[in-house]
Amino acid sequence: MTSMAGNIGCTAKTQRRWCRQEASRRAGPANTASGIWAESAYRSAEIEAALAARGLTTHIHWRRSRRKPLTRRQEAANKARSKVRARVEHVFGNQHNSMGGKFIRTIGILRASARIGMQNLAYNMRRLVVLERCAMAAR
């Protein structure tokens, strides 16, 4: 299975860089990222130990217990993680919903990579139009 890894800009919500990778390589030992981002369903002692053994930082949301609310520190950590996730998911969600990004029906990995690149370029151009309109309205 092939997936796309991207680098989303924090201020303009544009894709700065992207690359096509096999999904198994992204999750495997060749992954050089320093952290893992996930929802609270993935938090367990086993996963935490495995991530620590590989030297990865966990950015998994905290989950409250049945009758015990989250501490203020855990709520603040979840809020910070949600900001990053929301930024990334809005970009990929837009591509998925409005640009047919869920399935790429091409023959060959080079054509698929070119199609993903064109989707990213089109998204960035659409985003530029929105930013230009906001700048004009602010004047």
Q: What is the pLDDT of residues 6-38, one digit of tens each?
A: 566 656 666 666 665 554 455 555 555 677 777
Cα distances (angstroms) measured from residue 109 to each of 70, 103, 115, 116, 132: 45, 13, 10, 10, 34
Q: Specify the higher pLDDT residue, 21 or 80.
A: 80
Task: Summarize the confidence of residues 89-93 as an average pLDDT.
Answer: 81
